[in-house]
Amino acid sequence: MSRIAISSIMIVSITLMVGCATLPQRLAIQPSIQTVAGDIIADHQEISLRVIDLRPEDQLGYLEDGHGNRQPFLSTRELDMVINKAVAAGLRKKGFIPLSGVHENNISLAVEIQEFNHRVSPGIVKVPVQTKISLRTTAVNSGHKLTSYYSIDKQAVLALRPGIQQNQRLVNEALAAVLEQIFQDQKLLNMLTLNSGAGVVK
């Protein structure tokens, strides 16, 4: 076999290897929100729920290999739909009846996805992993309005580069933790139950 043929095969092989290295990892985002059993604060109160994705890109983050290549993480479903489903489930556990979109009622909750970045940095002995998520909520009830911010910055150092299953677990744990902050925010809960006598939180 000639040198040209061997070189051509090597070039094709390297190209294929680089292409495979940059194919996206598709993660199944399914956060599970833990709420206190029996912690019902609303009596079948309807609430309008909207989730808006403000991120400039669809990627959930990247896996970097140290050679300038970045393998993107993507969600198997639209991220706003995933978070909408999780928040709606949490609201139901609190006694609300979540309605999608805008409705003619006095109570609404909007959740904005401001940042979602899961990053796996290059490493041989130790592999740094960071997951940053930032959300903003706007609650409106009977003419009163409350804006709140929730975020998480989870960092870990792993012995091996994580595969798709471990990346899914890390992302879902971080997202569940930041969503739980919403349902542990007493000011927000008071705002949502304002017409039941909770009062306005200053």
Classify burial at 64, counting beta carbons within 10 Å of its beta carbon; exposed 0-12, middle 13-18, buried 19 or more: middle
Rounded CA-CA distance 42/170 in Å is: 32
Check residue 190 and give its pLDDT: 92
For 48-71, how does the pLDDT look when each residue is reduced to its tens digit (9 = 90+)? 999 999 999 999 999 988 777 889
pTM to 2 decimal places = 0.82
For 81-103, how does the pLDDT look when each residue is reduced to its tens digit (9 = 90+)? 999 999 999 999 899 999 986 66
Query: Rounded mean pLDDT of 169-175?
Result: 96
Check residue 102 and give its pLDDT: 65
For the chain, the structural domain boundaries read 3-196
Please give the CATH topology (third level) of the domain spanning 3-196. Rossmann fold (3.40.50)
